[in-house]
Amino acid sequence: MDTTGEPGRGGAAAPDDAAPPPEPRPAGSSQVLTLANQLTFLRMALAPTFLALVLGQRLGWAAAAFVLAGITDLLDGLIARLGKQQTLLGAMLDPIADKILLASAFVALTWGPGLRHPIPPWLTVIVLSRDAIIVVTVSAINLTFGRRMFFPSRLGKVCTFFQLLTAGVALLVDAVDVDLPALDVLFHVTLVLTVASALHYVYLATTRRSGQAP
């Protein structure tokens, strides 16, 4: 009789060998509630806060909320890379959080009460229309050809940066009540980038490309 204790050879297995291997932890909560994703959720929550502050003509507090949202935008990506917390959910939520913040900022800084230097309505309409066109185009492609992931392109990231810069500068100009002639130039640069990135996203979607994963 074999008493070596080796499994599969007739002997009794050692206690450590008899224990089943540990099952992997569910990926759900640990991957959703990473620190990077929590910062992204915070940025989403700051969007309606910012909107309410601007509509209430509390521009100083609105500027503080906008700066805090910008800091979370910088930190979530940095923490995700350095802390190895990059997830597909985070990659998709990050641009969504940016769009929620930007839509709130452009609407508030265009039609908010008491603004001496509002964002031109034509720019806000173009910015909101761009996002609507992208959503409709990507949805149509997914319904026609099956589910596909479309990551933000470099041009899209540059466009988002200039949109954030435009909103931030417009808010600052109104908060301190100064004239800034260069603001009109920034409006037109943002317009060009917004239109160009919209066309680029439509091209990526219609050619069934997905851009580059972050």
pLDDT digits (tens, 9 = 90+) for 58-82: 999 999 999 999 999 889 888 888 8
pLDDT digits (tens, 9 = 90+) for 24-33: 344 455 567 8
34-206 in CATH: which number?
1.20.120.1760
> Residue written as tokens 């700051």?
46
* Banded model confidence at residue 50, pLDDT cuts 50, 70, 90: very high
Q: Cα(98)–Cα(152) distance, rounded to whole angstroms?
A: 11
Give the residue ranges of DSSP H helices in 5-120.
15-18, 28-32, 35-55, 59-82, 88-111
pTM of the shown model: 0.76
Q: Which of 61, 94, 63, 74 is nearest to 167 (CA)?
A: 63
Q: Cα(44)–Cα(139) distance, rounded to whole angstroms?
A: 22
Give the pLDDT of residue 88.
78
pLDDT digits (tens, 9 = 90+) for 106-153: 999 999 999 989 999 999 999 999 988 887 877 777 777 777 666 678
* Cβ-contact 22, 16 below 8 angstroms: no
